[in-house]
Structure 1
């Protein structure tokens, strides 16, 4: 659900290849945040990453492939779920993580660019869908545990509850222009928890 930890391109073990990838993805993320998908120029990415153009073109080839790799890296680095011991606490933690991500000047613009690109680019769309499936799968066990504790009815769709938390925040972010602030996050979490307890998400 959004929600990267370290920024895209954080250096990880793996030698020069990993360092080049990290630098390129960091530069790509910066450029996407600044200019959107239409401004994702591979030559400019290479310049900012201080690597050869040939390296960038040979490994990624086009902006779609680079955006897809960036999303894959973001999924790998996403923060783990928070487990508070209650459905309300867990969903509140999820909502506030989504809120912080969308309200962050760089991360918010980056997600906006990637979501916009996914509307017209099939490869980016596939990578974006995989990213969100990964995030939903990370948080769904919180609802599963709530079901085991008897907080929600048997047969509750765990993933749907998680989607219900972030959906109002993305609506504000992408459609209405209303603030994506902490009160909005808290309302989204409380509404999803109440609906789940009432059986709205049973299969």
Structure 2
């Protein structure tokens, strides 16, 4: 992550990581195969698990969504999260493995939500978390508690029968 933060995503190579970590490049290739897979594992480790909700029905859905959106927000505003996500996105433009990492991360977050909300297809999941990513990555604004609560409330409405 230090390489990403200091030099950007294009500088993340196994040669640079091996030098920084003082290990052989072959060790990195054997364990991860590509820098994108290394980023993917890091991305997965940075994503916290959700705590069981205390509310009922629609309140529970809103609480779970708020918790998930808060975790994502914390990730998107942390230097480590920004560095890793930027690295994966840059690599995904030309590396199928990095694209799979992003897809895998999204699927893991969706499975985490499904533990409490039941089945979510990928399109619905995108509708639930997409506004926050848009807010950060395209509008380049930080989400405060009011924005997170609004997104959670809107998401809970999408889930309502």
**8 Å contact 1:91–1:189 — kept in the other structure?**
yes
**8 Å contact 1:99–1:182 — kept in the other structure?**
no
Deviations 1:88-132 (A, max 9, x none): 211111111111110112212321221232122212101211121
The aligned residue for residue 96 of structure 2 is: 122
**8 Å contact 2:88–2:101 — kept in the other structure?**
no
Structure showing greater relative contact order (alpha-carbon pairs closer than 8 Å, 6 or more residues apart): 2
CA separation of 1:72/1:105 partners in 2, compared to 1, >3 Å: closer, same or farther?
closer
TM-score (norm 2): 0.80
- Which aligned segments of 4 or more residues in structure 1 are displaced greater than 6 angstroms? none
Deviations 1:55-89 (A, max 9, x none): 3356556xxx1221331354366422222131121
The range that moved more, 160-169 or 38-47, is 160-169
The aligned residue for residue 142 of structure 2 is: 179
TM-score (norm 1): 0.66
Q: For the pair shown, which has the larger CA radius of gyration, 1 or 2?
A: 1
**Structural mapping, 1:1-203, within 5 Å:** 29-56=1-28, 59-60=31-32, 65-75=34-44, 78-85=47-54, 86-144=60-118, 158-159=120-121, 160-197=123-160, 199=161
The structure whose residues are more often helix, as a share, is 2
Unmatched tracts of structure 1, length 5 or more: 1-28, 145-156
Cα RMSD of the aligned pairs, angstroms, is: 2.4
Measure how far apart 1:161 and its partner are: 4.6
Measure how far apart 1:194 and its partner are: 2.0
**8 Å contact 2:127–2:155 — kept in the other structure?**
yes
**8 Å contact 2:10–2:90 — kept in the other structure?**
no
CA separation of 1:59/1:193 partners in 2, compared to 1, >3 Å: closer, same or farther?
closer
Question: Counterparts of 2:129 and 2:145 in 1: how far apart (Å)?
Answer: 13
